[in-house]
Structure 1
Amino acid sequence: MIRVLIVDDEVLVRAGFRMILQAADDIEIVAEASDGKEAVDAVLKHWPDVVLMDVRMSGMDGLRALQEISRLPKAPKVIMLTTFDLDDYVHTALRAGASGFLLKDTSPHDLMSAVRTVAAGSAMLSPTVTKRLIDEFAGREPGRTRQAREQLATLTGREMDVLNGVADGLSNAEIAKQLSMSEATVKAHVSRTLTKLGLANRVQAAMVARDAAGW
């Protein structure tokens, strides 16, 4: 059973997410919270597997709560929710270790899929949204290009080929087809790349690749 905490300052939004997720046999809602402070307290009390958290809330916002939750031992996976598909808060959240990013108008099927995907240890960001976020924000900080190139120097040529596909917003299946590899091999390359670079998910890896290219 996947244990979920829902965090949003709007009661109706929380109720909507609860109704959708409770329909799944493998998902349990363990608590709700209306701001970041309540979210941190709820995590410490219930230790959920996944936190669905709004980016913008009164009081402690989702980003600050994410930063506090990420520092906890055995921290849960966090999916950030927003009405904005390109947002500085979202970019910062991804760099801080968020495992997913979803718009609030995401379909019920995709919401359930996101929770399951993130609980299983993968990042949940559609390739289209991944590419738009990276295109919009990568390379803005001074010195990031040099730092990123130093990080990527540890990768093999094949790992770089796979990483470039990730940076283009491709799924593992699309990368496998492009490079004439099995999907399992691509997944293994992505996993090794994340370990070598010390990153939490493929979105962060894609941002490093874009930074290195100076995009």
Structure 2
Amino acid sequence: MRQNRGKLLNVTEDADLGYRLARDGYALSVIGPPTYEEAPISFGAWLSQRTRWIKGHMQTWLVLMRDPLGAARDFGFRGFAAMQLVLGGGLLAAFAHGPLACIVLIAALSPYNLLTPSDFALAVFGYCVAVFAALSAVALSGNLSHIRAALTMPFYWPLATIAALRALLELLVRPHHWSKTAHGLSRRTPPPLAVAVPDQPLARRAAS
């Protein structure tokens, strides 16, 4: 959704719409996994997709922070804090993963004292906790094919910094460029028939 009647729009319209609804007092529900969404099968396709996502999240955060006091009033303290943690924290993590991985790698393989022993242990422990959480999710889902992805997460996260830097550049020079993700390229087993679940509202007006 790049243009609508001459108006330029956010390139991650789902994030923008979700926060607009939350700001107006609505609560949203999500579809339980699995959703059988097709993931990019090449690094170039992944990089373009992730660049668009991060750029759209930056657009969303910047729009919300045009009037931080007004946003805090509309969201409420807890909602505003959650927005900063989820949206702002996700953006900060994307930029930090690459430098942090480099620092940890240099500290482990070189004589330079970039980190104290306790700092190094804390960083490695953080990686291990995240990988363990992913492995726990794999075990709970019963889909052991994701074990490799869980174990290689520390090598995957720094790639987000490349996408984040690219997104920042695009935000400055072509903020509304839409890198379309090609679909129908991966070999996938057709998903099973959907299981009927009780009707639940996807959005409801929060009690005032």
Q: Compute the TM-score of the two structures, normalised by the length of structure 2.
A: 0.22
Q: Compute the TM-score of the two structures, normalised by the length of structure 1.
A: 0.21
Q: Which has the larger radius of gyration?
A: 2
Q: Which has the higher contact order (CA 8 A, sep 6+)?
A: 2
